[in-house]
């Protein structure tokens, strides 16, 4: 019956189909209080298992935050919640003061300015490196504009710039599936840059990278902070140390400790559950 109602709604004469509407202005980000992301009392359970348990987390605008925690702590699940992939059982998630992320679809959240890199690198394997970046590019992503989209010179420059940053300029015509694991990670970061998001969520960026590549990633992420807010989940402690200003430790779905790397490392509880293992 609900579906029938949807059909009715869709075809009623007054209805302007959502994909024909201009982007609602409520998607404008408001960070006047200096905080870009609010997670308050968020809980979610899978078949009775509490993956996220009363989680409270605040990310400042322009901040670079590292999130660490043992396997299964709920780090990826937290990102799933922010990006709309998983809906929490309770709690609230706000992007800036005004945008209630729990009310938006995944695509809308992305349009609002949250970009995400997955734990397992996912690029479009059958597309070239260039096309991957083109698809990710910020812009009108509705069906008709996409059908008739043409790349402007400015946009090509933008893509080339991103290629430069991620060091894949020579590979722009290669299919993404043929890249090495580390290069795919970079490409995915490049796709994030093309989206030009306010907030970047980056899940395990350096897995499978050489030390050299890691250094460059660290450099890139630190350079992004300030203009963007960046949240990095990472297991590699050396890497975290090299970029971290503020570290949050997750454990069993809630925040165990928060502070500078040194503070966190000296926290007795953290040592017990994580660093001491």
Ligand X SMILES: Nc1ncnc2c1ncn2[C@@H]1O[C@H](COP(=O)(O)OP(=O)(O)OP(=O)(O)O)[C@@H](O)[C@H]1O
Residues near another protein (CB under 8 A) are 3, 6-7, 10, 19, 83, 85, 105-107, 110-111, 115-116, 118, 122-127, 131, 134-136, 141-143, 146-149, 191, 195
x/- mask, ligand X, residues 42-81, rule CB under 6 A, reads ----x----x-----------------x-xxxxxxx----
Q: What residue is closest to Mg ion based on CB?
A: 76
* Tokens linked to 52: 């996220």
206 is an interface residue for ligand X by CB under 6 A: no
User: CA–CA separation, 21 vs 39, rounded Å?
Assistant: 29
User: CA–CA separation, 13 vs 65, rounded Å?
Assistant: 48
Q: Minimum distance from CB of 69 to ligand X (Å)?
A: 6
x/- mask, ligand X, residues 117-136, rule CB under 6 A, reads --x-----------------
User: CA–CA separation, 200 vs 269, rounded Å?
Assistant: 29
Residues sharing a CB contact under 8 Å with residue 103, sequence separation 6 or more, in sequence order: none
| Contact status, residue 23 vs residue 111, Cβ threshold 8 Å | yes
Q: Minimum distance from CB of 67 to ligand X (Å)?
A: 9
How many residues appear in the chain? 277
| Contact status, residue 184 vs residue 129, Cβ threshold 8 Å | no
163 is an interface residue for ligand X by CB under 6 A: no
184 binds, among ligand X, another protein, Mg ion, none (CB under 5 to 8 A by kind): none
72 binds, among ligand X, another protein, Mg ion, none (CB under 5 to 8 A by kind): ligand X
19 binds, among ligand X, Mg ion, another protein, none (CB under 5 to 8 A by kind): another protein
Residues sharing a CB contact under 8 Å with residue 71, sequence separation 6 or more, in sequence order: none
Q: What is the DSSP letter of 225?
A: B
Residue 46 or 144 with smaller CB distance to ligand X: 46
Q: What are phi and psi of 214, to 5 degrees?
A: -60, -45
131 binds, among another protein, Mg ion, ligand X, none (CB under 5 to 8 A by kind): another protein
228 binds, among Mg ion, another protein, ligand X, none (CB under 5 to 8 A by kind): none
User: CA–CA separation, 232 vs 185, rounded Å?
Assistant: 13
| Contact status, residue 183 vs residue 206, Cβ threshold 8 Å | no
Q: Minimum distance from CB of 33 to Mg ion (Å)?
A: 29
266 binds, among ligand X, Mg ion, another protein, none (CB under 5 to 8 A by kind): none
Nearest by Cα to 99 from 118, 84, 88: 84
**Positions in the binding site for ligand X (CB under 6 A):** 46, 51, 69, 71-77, 119
């Amino acid at each position: 019956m609900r579906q029938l109602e949807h059909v009715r709604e869709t075809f009623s004469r007054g209805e302007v189909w959502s994909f024909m509407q201009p982007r609602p202005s409520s998607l404008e980000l408001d960070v006047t209080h200096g905080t870009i992301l609010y997670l308050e009392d968020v809980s979610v359970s899978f078949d009775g298992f509490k993956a996220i348990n009363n989680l409270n987390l605040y990310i400042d605008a322009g901040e670079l935050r590292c999130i660490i925690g043992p396997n299964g702590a709920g780090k990826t699940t937290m990102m799933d919640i922010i990006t709309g992939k998983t809906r929490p059982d309770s709690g609230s998630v706000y992007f800036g003061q005004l945008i209630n992320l729990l009310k938006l679809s995944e695509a809308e959240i992305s349009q609002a300015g949250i970009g995400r890199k997955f734990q397992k690198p996912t690029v479009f394997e059958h597309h070239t490196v260039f096309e991957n970046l083109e698809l990710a590019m910020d812009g009108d992503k509705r069906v008709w504009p996409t059908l008739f989209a043409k790349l402007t010179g400015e946009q090509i420059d933008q893509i080339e710039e991103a290629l430069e940053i991620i060091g894949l300029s020579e590979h722009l015509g290669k299919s993404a599936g043929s890249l090495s694991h580390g290069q795919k990670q970079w490409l995915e970061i490049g796709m994030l840059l093309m989206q030009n998001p306010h907030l970047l969520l980056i899940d395990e960026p350096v897995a499978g990278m050489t030390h050299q590549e890691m250094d460059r990633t660290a450099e890139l992420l630190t350079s992004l902070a300030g203009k963007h807010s960046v949240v990095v989940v990472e297991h590699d402690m050396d890497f975290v140390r090299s970029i971290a200003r503020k570290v949050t430790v997750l454990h069993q779905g809630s925040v165990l400790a928060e502070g500078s790397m040194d503070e966190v490392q000296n926290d007795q509880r953290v040592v017990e559950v994580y660093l001491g293992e």
